[in-house]
Amino acid sequence: MVGPMRPQFVLFGSSIVEFSCSNEGWGAVLADIYARKADILLRGYAGWTSRHALRILDQVFPLDAALQPSLVIVYFGGNDSMHPHPSGFGTHVPLPEYIENMRKIATHLKKLSEKTRIIFLSAPPVSKEKISEIYSDTLAELRTIESCRIYSEACLALCQEMDVKGIDLWTALQKKDGWETDCLTDGIHLSAEGSKIVVEEIMNVLREADWEPSLHWKSMPTEFEQVLSIPQLSPDFKTVVSIFKASYCRYSQWDRF
């Protein structure tokens, strides 16, 4: 164990989570924004569905853990939404089962702690053209933008029912012109630009949520803020600032969030 203990933000999901620390992914961006404020813990499992998640839920989030996460961001749905393969193999999870699985995940997470907050990410859109180009026409027929919409809407409806914060990635990504090429690397997974949109949506939720304590980065204490207060010149060499304040130059693009 490494101290001091910080709030824990857990990212739990399939490849959208596992790959979130690569190529300027949204997990890496969150870790940067929350440096000295919270620990970002990755629990991502490529290829998984909500069905897989239920099987290990108690191991990832034990109810008797001494320290429970302050925030859990969950993403499952893209793999679930794939159409059944004629062979019987594949990741398809029927919509009613998906909804029930996500309900069980939310119920379990709510039991962790009164202070554990939850955000569900809905299934983002996919690009049929890019999937066909990079993978195959068969995969493009199995994983469609319409099926993603259906599972996205089901996830968001469940969030409203269970009083869980939900982020509509299916809509958010498509607001950007050229989203199919700019926001996705292979028609399925997020590019740096796509991850930026995810971070913006998460930061909006954290800023607007009526949570006590607030989990927005500007509201959280900075670890050992007063220990090192050596003054130094500002980047323009005109004023003297502390090292702590100077370090915030890297957050400039997120100041509006």
Point out the residues that are catalytic: 14, 186, 189
Tokens 């630009």 locate to: 193
Tell me how far apart the alpha carbons of residues 236 and 219 are, in angstroms, rounded to a whole number.
Answer: 27
Instruction: Convert the chain into a string of H (helix), E (strand) and C (coil).
Output: CCCCCCCEEEEEECHHHHHHHCCCCHHHHHHHHCCCCCEEEEEECCCCCHHHHHHHHHHHCCCCCCCCCCEEEEECCCCCCCCCCCCCCCCCCCHHHHHHHHHHHHHHHHCCCCCCEEEEECCCCCCHHHHHHHCCHHHHHHCCHHHHHHHHHHHHHHHHHHCCEEECHHHHHHCCCCHHHHCECCCCCECHHHHHHHHHHHHHHHHHCCCCCCCCHHHCCCCCCCCCCCEEECCCCCCEEEHHHHHHHHHHHHCCC
Q: Cβ distance 230 to 50 under 8 Å? A: no
What token pair was written down for 167? 């982020």
Return the ∠ at Cα 101 (arms to 43 and 159), rounded to 5°.
85
